[in-house]
Amino acid sequence: MVSMVADEKSQPQLLSKKAACNSHGQDSSYFLGWEEYEKNPYDPVSNPGGIIQMGLAENQLSFDLLESWLEANPDALGLRRGGASVFRELALFQDYHGMPAFKNALARFMSEQRGYRVAFDPSNIVLTAGATSANEALMFCLADHGDAFLIPTPYYPGFDRDLKWRTGAEIVPVHCTSANGFRLTRAALDDAFRRAQKRRLRVKGVLITNPSNPLGTTSPRADLEMLLDFVAARGIHLVSDEIYSGTAFAAPGFVSVLEVLAARGASNAAAADLSERVHVVYSLSKDLGLPGFRVGAIYSSNAGVVSAATKMSSFGLVSSQTQHLLASLLGDKEFTRKYITENTRRIKERRDQLVEGLRGIGIECLESNAGLFCWVRMGNLMTSQSFEGEMELWKKVVFEVGLNISPGSSCHCREPGWFRVCFANMSAKTLDVALQRLADFAEANGGCKGGGAPARRRLAGGPARTMSCPVGRFSWANRLTPGSADRKAER
């Protein structure tokens, strides 16, 4: 009789090598912290002792503005135009180039986010199911299996998944340091290029996030000029992920690489050639707080890239219903102008709340002017200034304090003790609860060594939290070390 139970050892053979490989990055502490949050999510009423999600860069600060617009414009949500139903029109097949009305509105909104210093041609926009799909599509178009992209550190942990898993592309980190606020330098780029050559990798380009995730800083114009000079000299591509462009709330403000490129002019052959190798990724997930709508975009002046990426987009289209709704919303110039102003004001207010609260505990942040997070230095709470000490502190913060934050090692930072802490996905009261928990933890552990007096004031009400999830119960937490998933890109 044939056994109906499959041999566990034979299971991986049922998958392709690509599907079974471990380059997805799901074993990173960035994702594992999310898993623990999902098992025990904080709720001020039903679960006040749960884990507060501070590892999610989501903008929930301006939903009321969007909801007010929807109430005032029922036709957009009701699939109507001029009072007449457009249900049949939207329900039928739509060409994957995208609806012209939406692409025109998106192009105008992207220009508005950049102070109209950049003009976007809708024909150069490729719609994708979020920025994740946009970045992967660009890797598919620009890099063959084994080719490499240089990425400044610290960088968004999801890039290990988005850029590498299905494409086979490699990431070579460009090591930036706190000595200059983690700014990109030509020396760091040249060093990364040499390391790629030693590994016999063909470098196809550089990818940056501007504003930076996780630093919460915008790239200075001088740095963008230097970066354009570097890619021009090497004959490689530049991808600028600008999904946080509408979150800049303080000087020096946001400058798009396309603005710097346009200032060089396109009258000479060198400038024209460079413009063919500069590509921008955008999304409505952060500025409008609509990650569930899955709306991303690639912008490129390279006809070959636009053509290939458009073909790729057929695997992840933006629904016609979503395009219809957002074409109306983004087409309302008065609304978008007021939204941008108020949204950035709220982001700054919430960011200031986090920074001031942490400072009261004796914890400092990198000075930031954009983004939905802060780059926080917590080395004074660590038992040892090492990545082992960082991981030990991270486990305590997740399981004892009940805050899911992202350790710097998951972002491939070379200096232990840094953490990304998000602030825009929760209410002000919840942020106060998070700060109080951290203050209690710091005080219970003798305060922040070298970081000022421990906070003794109660920041918010709520029950004292006791450790309900002993670290020893979670085998993955004991196995996880900074030498595993979080540091793979260093090799």
Residues labelled catalytic? 156, 241, 243, 286
Geometric angle at alpha carbon 25, from 20 and 30, rounded to 5°? 150
- Contact yes or no for 312/74 (Cβ under 8 A): no
Q: Which structure tokens are listed for 366?
A: 């990198």
Please choose, from the candidates 126, 125, 63, the residue with its C-alpha nearest in 3D space to the C-alpha of residue 313.
126
- Contact yes or no for 240/208 (Cβ under 8 A): yes
Which residues on adjacent β-strands are paired with residue 365?
376
- Contact yes or no for 327/301 (Cβ under 8 A): no
Q: Is 207 exposed, middle or buried (0-12, 13-18, 19+ CB in 10 A)?
A: buried
- Contact yes or no for 313/96 (Cβ under 8 A): yes
